[in-house]
Structure 1
């Protein structure tokens, strides 16, 4: 069984060619226009932040771009505002609303299944990778968990920052989760939100270890892929791009034929006694046919040329559009053994690609727009399967992450 994941955040950041920075100034106040000092002001997806002063004012230096700014203060609801900096400094105001759930005693409605759903959320949001084992949810009580039985769908939201401690990569992540959904029928995982990354405190030795692991997490990731694709360096960075051509499975009869035969043989077995699938070869045959995939994917070994795949929209945005699926192999790292041993995760491939990290992309909305830092315009644009569906928040780095130690990847 294949797991699929839509795996992009909602932050959008547009780079320009100029290195000039401008001031983002502003004030944080309450609904009575009283200044709010000590509020945290964060840039979603990055490690940039500041605090409002005693007059509620703040200043940040930013490159021209499109940012999601997050504001948080204890006792108030977190606030997000989209800010566009073009060719001049701008000033804005953030008005926070008091949070009744923070000021009053929080009462969580007893749910005997909450722990079960929370564990599912951890697996599909934090992940099941080796790095995920070193992550901890600091405040899981802020999660609003709902299972929709009618749609067989698990939904998780929060109106406060979910705090994740990642001791594998050395980050504390504040994540304003708009929506997490797991569809039990389609096995599709989708989540969107606004993360902020902060470095954990550690010794020099820990920091060196974290930097090594951050580089491993970044290399071969979707962020690395789209960043290098933007710069037309995907091949030199180690990415091999092929097409997976989708064709109807010739071994699978039509659904109507399968259902008709299963109904006919089931009735026959019931009239003659109990159903024994081990003995009833005909019924077993049609059940096997039902479980076959409707489509098969054929790998085209001809490499997809970046110049034919990527199109320039403007100075800051690129787009890709394709039919069938893209098959992405990252040739500079092998698959982790825990992924290789996971049932139904690994993608089929020729023997010479055996140990490469392999992922596929299916477009849901076309074209797919992306930016220089690897950010995606519409998080619902695509589905991942394979390695990229396996790696989640535990293996993510900030959008302004830059490899150190002389590594020149996508600089």
Structure 2
């Protein structure tokens, strides 16, 4: 069964501080010739906040708190645009210049790729996901996706020249998603993707809205967003998360490389390079080849609970940070893995026999340290790699960063 790892793919999301003042991001949108652009869509990544430019090309996104924002701009005939804006104690005014999308404006002949359908289906599987919610998601404009496969590296890259539009009828959202990169390595089975989403509420009846509210709550609880938000607040244990460490130790069953390689070389040369099937030489060679395939290190679970006050540090007023060795082994104790997930997803993480069937995720720190906000957003897109349940849940199970749990 293939086990894949996935990169956390959400960039630079708002940090909510304790300040009460309302700030804004305003500005003007124009083209490279300085001509104003009315009617351009202006969005905040990770949120439902959006507006359009007026007849004089101006816009204002108001009622904002201090934090780190990504402003997204969309206009027909122009390339998608993003600008990072940090708000501290005063509002920001920005100037935006859009570049023409020559792929849309010019007629081009695109060489037909016989593998495109297969590549797009693989992209959907790793990007949208394979959860029950994923079955109710649809990419409305797959024509904006461009695939490229590197035969030598065995790496699939997917790019887009416009916002992806994704309709999620399980959670009641329409997403505009600026895909920044997607890469799947067939050798390592590792997927890297990152992008900037904006959420729009779908219209529906009262019964549909109640169902969406229930599904959103289920999607949020136990998610990586929920974990980091509770970690920021110092409430991860109260919220149902137990944090342990996966410690890597040397595999004592695997001899040193020098010994393995020397024996393989000696046995390969036996009988002038001719090895007879069933011979002692062949059996010995198979033995050493099997040892070579063993991992140099194995992971063992340290059952001592990680204390959050030693794991997390305040970095800035609106930003916290953590740095750690080995891997975090995170159990969410308020939900159990389904039988379908455990047996068929390919993501299930091994556990001690006395541990209940909790949802388990492993957090690999690739770039240290990692910074995160009160909203649960991660600052560095390539800092963390998830294995387990958080790798299983992807775009189909994502809620906005300003999602509020309904009051009971």
Structure 2 residue 218 is matched with structure 1 residue 216? yes
Q: Partner of 1:202: helix, strand, or coil?
A: coil
Q: Does the aligned pair in 2 maintain the 1:262–1:283 contact within 8 Å?
A: yes
Number of matched residues?
Answer: 404
2:157 to 155, 158, 176: 155
Deviations 1:238-280 (A, max 9, x none): 000011111011112234444454555566697255x579x96
Q: Partner of 1:352: helix, strand, or coil?
A: coil
Deviations 1:310-341 (A, max 9, x none): 11112111111111111000000111333211
Once residues 149 and 402 of structure 2 are traced to their aligned partners in structure 1, the CA distance between those partners, rounded to angstroms, is 35
Once residues 168 and 256 of structure 1 are traced to their aligned partners in structure 2, the CA distance between those partners, rounded to angstroms, is 55
Alignment of 1:156-305 (within 5 A): 156-262=158-264, 271-273=274-276, 281-305=283-307
Once residues 257 and 354 of structure 1 are traced to their aligned partners in structure 2, the CA distance between those partners, rounded to angstroms, is 41
Is 25-34 or 165-174 further displaced after alignment?
25-34
Deviation (angstroms), 1:405: 3.6
Q: Does the aligned pair in 2 maintain the 1:7–1:392 contact within 8 Å?
A: no
Q: Partner of 1:351: helix, strand, or coil?
A: coil
Once residues 160 and 258 of structure 1 are traced to their aligned partners in structure 2, the CA distance between those partners, rounded to angstroms, is 52
Q: Does the aligned pair in 2 maintain the 1:177–1:193 contact within 8 Å?
A: yes
Deviation (angstroms), 1:87: 1.8
1:371 to 347, 370, 373: 373
Q: Partner of 1:9: helix, strand, or coil?
A: coil
Once residues 17 and 311 of structure 1 are traced to their aligned partners in structure 2, the CA distance between those partners, rounded to angstroms, is 17
Once residues 95 and 205 of structure 2 are traced to their aligned partners in structure 1, the CA distance between those partners, rounded to angstroms, is 39
Deviation (angstroms), 1:284: 4.0
- For residue 49 of structure 2, what is the aligned residue in structure 1? 48
In the superposition, the TM-score normalised over structure 2's length comes to 0.93
Q: Does the aligned pair in 1 maintain the 2:67–2:318 contact within 8 Å?
A: no
Aligned-pair RMSD on alpha carbons?
A: 2.2
Is 161-170 or 327-336 further displaced after alignment?
161-170
Deviation (angstroms), 1:175: 1.0
Once residues 93 and 352 of structure 1 are traced to their aligned partners in structure 2, the CA distance between those partners, rounded to angstroms, is 58
Stretches of structure 1 that go unaligned for 5 or more consecutive residues are: 407-411
Q: Does the aligned pair in 1 maintain the 2:12–2:380 contact within 8 Å?
A: no
Once residues 259 and 174 of structure 1 are traced to their aligned partners in structure 2, the CA distance between those partners, rounded to angstroms, is 53
Alignment of 1:10-409 (within 5 A): 10-61=11-62, 62-105=64-107, 107-262=109-264, 271-273=274-276, 281-342=283-344, 344-406=346-408
Q: Does the aligned pair in 2 maintain the 1:11–1:45 contact within 8 Å?
A: no
Once residues 113 and 261 of structure 1 are traced to their aligned partners in structure 2, the CA distance between those partners, rounded to angstroms, is 43
Deviation (angstroms), 1:137: 1.4
Is 214-223 or 79-88 further displaced after alignment?
79-88
Deviations 1:285-320 (A, max 9, x none): 334333333221111111111111111112111111
Once residues 57 and 121 of structure 1 are traced to their aligned partners in structure 2, the CA distance between those partners, rounded to angstroms, is 36
Q: Does the aligned pair in 1 maintain the 2:268–2:275 contact within 8 Å?
A: no
Q: Does the aligned pair in 1 maintain the 2:244–2:305 contact within 8 Å?
A: yes
- For residue 4 of structure 2, what is the aligned residue in structure 1? 3
Deviations 1:150-202 (A, max 9, x none): 22211111121111111111111111111111122222211111111111222
In the superposition, the TM-score normalised over structure 1's length comes to 0.92
Deviations 1:179-234 (A, max 9, x none): 11112222221111111111122211111111111111111111110100000000
Q: Partner of 2:125: helix, strand, or coil?
A: helix
**Structure 1 256/140 Cα, relative in aligned 2: closer, same or farther at 3 Å?**
farther
Q: Does the aligned pair in 1 maintain the 2:250–2:297 contact within 8 Å?
A: yes
